[in-house]
Structure 1
Amino acid sequence: MSADQVVDQIRATMGAVSTVHVAGYAMSDGQKMTLDVSADKNKNCTGTVTTGDTGSIELIHNSAGTWIKPDATYWKNMAAQKGNPQAGDAVAELFKGRWLTGAQDDPDLQGMADVCGVLAGLDEALNEDSTKSSAHKGDYAFVDGARALTVNVTDDSGPSILYPAADEQPYLLRVVNNGSDGGIVDLSDFNKPVDVQAPPADQVIDSGTFQQKVNSA
């Protein structure tokens, strides 16, 4: 097959995928974002996100809302952002193990929810005209023991290498972005159910309550 035909097959295969597990990292505005997330086509997802040195966050997102459970480093950074850095240690201890939620237009929560759109993002990238027109095949490689073809493409984010499975359906096993931002993401667990349930209400705090506690700490 030509490289264009391979991209067509990747697009068709990934377009039919209902769920996926994504693990790896991407650079954004000079910061490294590490992902370990399982998501479905409707952006229901669960997993962990770490951004730079601002801390790690457990994430749950479904149609009812977004919940994040930060580590101590995140709480301390959040306190600093809210203008009360000296409250960081107290806030981190107070909210340890708690889930934070709030309005869906909250920029922190919205940014986390956007992470869950990995399948939609892949579909959009594979449908870009530049991705297909620039494609050319490379050598075979192995991703976690599975043989994969390498396909070099270029889109708006720069040059990338796609690694579709070579000995089965051409599921996309890895994407390496060699553009200015860069990153490596591995994909697995295709079509495996993702159970996304809201955390227990007694473990959840509202972002407004968080702000009040920071101000009084």
Structure 2
Amino acid sequence: MTSHTSRLRATSTVTAVATALVLGAAPAAVAQSPPVTVRAPSPSPDPFKGQTADQIADKAVTATQSATSLRMAGRVVSSDQPLDVDFSLNDKNECTGAIKLKGGAAEIRQTGRVTYMKGDEAFWRASMSAQRMPEAQIDATIELLKGRWLKIPQGQPGAEDLSDVCDLKALLDDLGKDKERRTGLTRGPDAEVDDTPVATLVKKKTDADTTEPGDTAEPRDPGDPTEPRDTPETTTVSVSQRGKPYILKVVKTGGDEPGSVTLSEYDKPVKVAVPPAGETVDLTKLDRGTPA
């Protein structure tokens, strides 16, 4: 049933949260995440004493890429569509978590080369409508999936898009792709994220950072209230000063898509409960047109 899996491909944008960790670079952006405690402690001794902000950033990326598991919570904005995520995933392509899309919500679990997804009516309707699925087919599919998990074995058309959601290695590989984005940082005031002392690294992005050679900007009329106002984009990354220098939080202010994302529960076991067979709809059976 290729049509059903193609309707679910929008969920693969969960992996775009990784781009928020690459300082100042993002084809997608993150927005509000669960609140965390941030205050200014006085850690002693400073584990980064004598190091530049760029050097700390390099260490943070290397450490974060070494993680065997983590939890990420925040909001991904892709194609002007907000997607709230809260996922725990490990380096064995196992994960469990939840997403919210256009007022709908869904759970995703992956283990043993099988992905399971369970959404409410609003989630399925928004996901399938976005792909211009006929209304009658949407209604029939929603009725079939009501209160049940869609079981998607690996190898089915579209299954790879969903498995990317739980691909920790791919997420962390993206983190270090563009080193130039991690240069020109400054160190801000030390703080705390969830009771862990952190060093803060700040990257300010100006129009010059996004202007191609030879491009010329049209002059703006300062007296015209309809003219857009440039708001400098600032990205602040919180790096743990306790244990490994993991990235714990990324905050963006200014620009078109301000927000934040938090990373936690590094290297902790990820337990994934397989839904009971009686509560699943097998995609392979749907493909053959047989009862689920």
Same fold (TM over 0.5): yes
How much has 1:110 moved relative to structure 2?
Answer: 4.0
The gaps in structure 2 that reach 5 residues or longer are 1-50, 211-232
TM-score, with length taken from structure 1 = 0.79
Work out the percentage of aligned pairs sharing the same amino acid: 28
TM-score, with length taken from structure 2 = 0.61
How much has 1:169 moved relative to structure 2?
Answer: 2.7
Q: Paired residue for 1:152?
A: 202
* Secondary structure of the corresponding residue to residue 151 of structure 1: strand
Greater fraction of residues in strand: 1
Q: Paired residue for 2:27?
A: none
How much has 1:6 moved relative to structure 2?
Answer: 0.7
> Which shows bigger deviation, 26-35 or 3-12?
3-12
Q: Paired residue for 2:151?
A: 101
How much has 1:59 moved relative to structure 2?
Answer: 0.4
Question: 1:18 aligned to 2:74?
Answer: no
The gaps in structure 1 that reach 5 residues or longer are none
Q: 1:30 to 1:2 in 2, by over 3 A?
A: same
Partners of 1:20 and 1:111 in 2: how far apart? 20
Question: 1:193 aligned to 2:193?
Answer: no
Partners of 1:190 and 1:47 in 2: how far apart? 15
* Secondary structure of the corresponding residue to residue 148 of structure 1: strand
Aligned equivalent of 1:184, options 260, 265, 279: 260
CA displacement, residues 162-205 of structure 1 (integer Å, 9 cap, x when unaligned):
11112443221112245655542111111111123432222221
Larger radius of gyration: 2
Tell me if structure 1 keeps the 8 A contact 2:101–2:126.
no
Q: 1:91 to 1:129 in 2, by over 3 A?
A: closer
Aligned equivalent of 1:142, options 173, 192, 196: 192
Q: 1:212 to 1:154 in 2, by over 3 A?
A: farther
Partners of 2:144 and 2:114 in 1: how far apart? 23
Partners of 2:199 and 2:127 in 1: how far apart? 43
Question: 1:5 aligned to 2:80?
Answer: no
CA displacement, residues 6-62 of structure 1 (integer Å, 9 cap, x when unaligned):
112212321221110111112111011111100012332111011234x21100123
Q: Which has the higher contact order (CA 8 A, sep 6+)?
A: 2
Partners of 2:127 and 2:246 in 1: how far apart? 39
Tell me if structure 2 keeps the 8 A contact 1:76–1:91.
no
* Amino acid of the structure 2 residue aligned with 1:169: K
Superposed, 1:3-152 pairs within 5 Å as: 3-53=53-103, 55-77=104-126, 80=129, 81=131, 83-86=133-136, 91-102=141-152, 104=155, 106-107=157-158, 109-118=159-168, 120-152=170-202
* Amino acid of the structure 2 residue aligned with 1:99: W
Tell me if structure 1 keeps the 8 A contact 2:156–2:284.
no
* Secondary structure of the corresponding residue to residue 195 of structure 1: coil
